[in-house]
Chains A and B, each alone.
Chain A
Amino acid sequence: MALECKHVWDYISEFLDDSLAPETKELVQKHLENCEICSAILDSTRNILILTADDRVFELPAGYSERLHARLAREIHGVNSRPDKPTRG
């Protein structure tokens, strides 16, 4: 049974995660070999996800780490001086 393009699109995410059932994966692969549009959709989605995950997309602001640890240090040293109200979680 051959798959139509719109059905292939439903499988793109799981195809990328390699979590499709073997027989479905095979059908998708067969379709991709013969369909330049679906191949381009798959390639572009994969490419975009790789770019999205890159550390450069959301970079730490200058001084972030120093400010964070300075604030934590104040908490670590000062926490006894005020009432401790633990929350359940």
Chain B
Amino acid sequence: MSLADARPVKRDEAQMIASILAGDRELYHQLIQPYELSVYRMAMSFVKNETEAEDVAQEAFLKAFRDLANFRGESKFSTWLISITLNEARRRLRRQSTVRMESLDEPAEEGAKVSPALLRDWREIPSESLERREVRALLQKAIEELSPIYREVLVLRDIEELSVEETAGALAISISSVKVRLHRARIMLQKELAPKLKLATPKKGRWLSWH
């Protein structure tokens, strides 16, 4: 379930937050329930191992609880929660960057042209193929290997299914930056994954076994 799907129509989050701040702290468990997967998934796309991602997610939910009084309601609670999660994940990466040699300040490459992988035909890869660990691992790795500026936009827009405007708001960047980065991120994923997925999902007979 994406963040976009997670917004239930009947939940009045502003009211829930007001009640929590007025003393009904237990209600926080309910407030965050729809976002458990989203926050974890976003953390996972940054820190690259399950334990750390869980840690980032817990920290983000705790920080959101402690700072709840500062939530102004100008954005959605989910957008605010995303900003907190992103900051927590970035903080974690910065702390480790000397170990991992991963720089968060790497050149934005905004001027560089990205080209897709050229294929003559594409045979639809069904979602059932995700039952295979190998296929899931290919996708995870491709997302993780994107530069942070591209990964952030892709995760928010295509995985959490935020709108272009919400993505721009959560990242504090312009709408045109979102579009440019998103385009590059998508093409980079296609370039990386299309040939590999084609090889990993051979033509005949494989899909029948799932039905």
Contact = CB atoms under 8 A, between A and B. Distances in A.
Contact of B61 (A10, A44, A72): A72
Q: Is the interface of A mostly helix, strand, loop or mixed?
A: helix
Contacts, number: 147
The interface size bin for chain A is 35 or more
A67 B58 contact: yes
A57 B130 contact: yes
Contacts of A9: 115-116, 187
A86 B179 contact: no
Interface residues of B, number: 58
Interface string A69-84: 1011101110100001
B69 interface: yes
A79 B179 CA distance: 42
A40 B119 contact: yes
A68 B36 contact: yes
A12 B159 CA distance: 18
Interface string A35-68: 0110111011101111111111110110011011
A69 B164 CA distance: 32
B127 A51 contact: yes
Interface string B160-174: 010010000000000
Smallest CB-CB A-B distances: 9 pairs: A13-B183, A40-B119, A43-B122, A58-B41, A40-B122, A56-B130, A45-B190, A44-B194, A44-B122
Interface of A: 6, 9-10, 12-14, 16-17, 19, 36-37, 39-41, 43-45, 47-58, 60-61, 64-65, 67-69, 71-73, 75-77, 79, 84, 86-89
12 contacts: A10-B183, A13-B179, A43-B124, A51-B139, A56-B130, A60-B36, A64-B54, A68-B57, A72-B28, A72-B61, A72-B62, A76-B26
